[in-house]
């Protein structure tokens, strides 16, 4: 748990550094059908966020405010968007931003906004982020082998930032743990058809067929390995 979470929340009206800001309340219209009873912390945080967002204030305190807002609701697209604008304006340390998103992922990793933001950061960092991004997705996949967002991000990293060298070995590790892991078979197919380090399908045809047949012999009831073999055969049948 980080220090922000350990400290008791202080209302914004009691924070001297926010005394110059006039909070903007949420406008639900004169007769809202179902008024939502937000907690005071959430209400105040978003009221102050709206004030800074309207003023387009891209400052360190605005960045901290988005941190608090995201921790309360990590699905708010507008807050993430404004955070990116602030990070660019401040030329902030994006390595810290990777740490922040990893923190948020611990509470809710199946969050589109989180992954969109993470990709934005990694794209700017470029190959400096490759190994960390692969490790990040590996951690998440160790808890949820079918995590769609993690697999999509991992494939994006490989295609845009590299890191193919050990990916086939990683697929093998996953299949050693669970030969029925359809996501791992899918990733294996992704690697053999795109990796620049394997020499093409013709070069690996014999070893790949042998690998898959061993898996089938060990577990003939496994649909994933049969499907993989059929797909691989279709791809390579015309190679001669």
Q: Active-site residues: which are they? A: 110
- Contact (Cβ atoms closer than 8 angstroms) between residue 134 and residue 163: yes
In the chain, the N- to C-terminal Cα span, in Å, equals 58
CA atoms of 218 and 183, how far apart (whole Å): 19
How many other CB atoms sit within 10 Å of the CB of residue 78?
14
CA atoms of 188 and 213, how far apart (whole Å): 15
DSSP string, 9-23: P--GGG-GGGTT---
- What CA–CA distances, in Å, run from 195 to 84, 115, 162, 223? 32, 23, 9, 25
CA atoms of 164 and 74, how far apart (whole Å): 31
- DSSP assignment, residue 145? T
CA atoms of 125 and 122, how far apart (whole Å): 5
CA atoms of 158 and 153, how far apart (whole Å): 9
Q: Which residues, at least 6 apart from 84, have a Cβ–Cβ distance to it below 8 Å?
A: 117, 120
């Amino acid at each position: 748990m980080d220090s922000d979470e350990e400290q008791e929340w202080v209302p914004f009206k009691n924070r001297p550094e926010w005394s110059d800001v006039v909070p903007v309340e949420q406008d639900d219209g004169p007769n809202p059908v179902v008024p939502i009873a937000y907690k005071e912390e959430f209400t105040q945080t978003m009221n102050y966020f709206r004030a800074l967002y309207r003023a387009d204030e891209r400052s360190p305190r605005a960045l901290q405010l988005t941190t608090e807002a995201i921790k309360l609701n990590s699905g708010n697209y507008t807050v993430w968007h404004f955070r990116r604008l602030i990070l660019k304006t401040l030329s902030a340390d994006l390595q810290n931003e990777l740490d922040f998103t990893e923190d948020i992922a611990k509470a809710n990793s199946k969050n589109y906004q989180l992954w969109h933001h993470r990709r934005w950061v990694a794209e700017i960092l470029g190959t400096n982020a490759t190994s960390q991004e692969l490790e990040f997705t590996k951690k998440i996949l160790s808890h949820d082998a079918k995590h769609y967002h993690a697999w999509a991000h991992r494939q994006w990293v490989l295609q845009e930032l590299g890191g193919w060298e050990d990916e086939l070995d990683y697929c093998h590790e996953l299949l050693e743990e669970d030969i029925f892991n359809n996501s791992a078979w899918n990733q294996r197919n992704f690697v053999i058809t795109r990796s620049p380090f394997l020499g093409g399908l013709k070069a690996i045809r014999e070893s790949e067929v042998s690998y898959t047949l061993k898996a089938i012999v060990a577990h003939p009831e496994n649909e994933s390995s049969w499907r993989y073999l059929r797909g691989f055969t279709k791809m390579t049948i015309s190679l001669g």
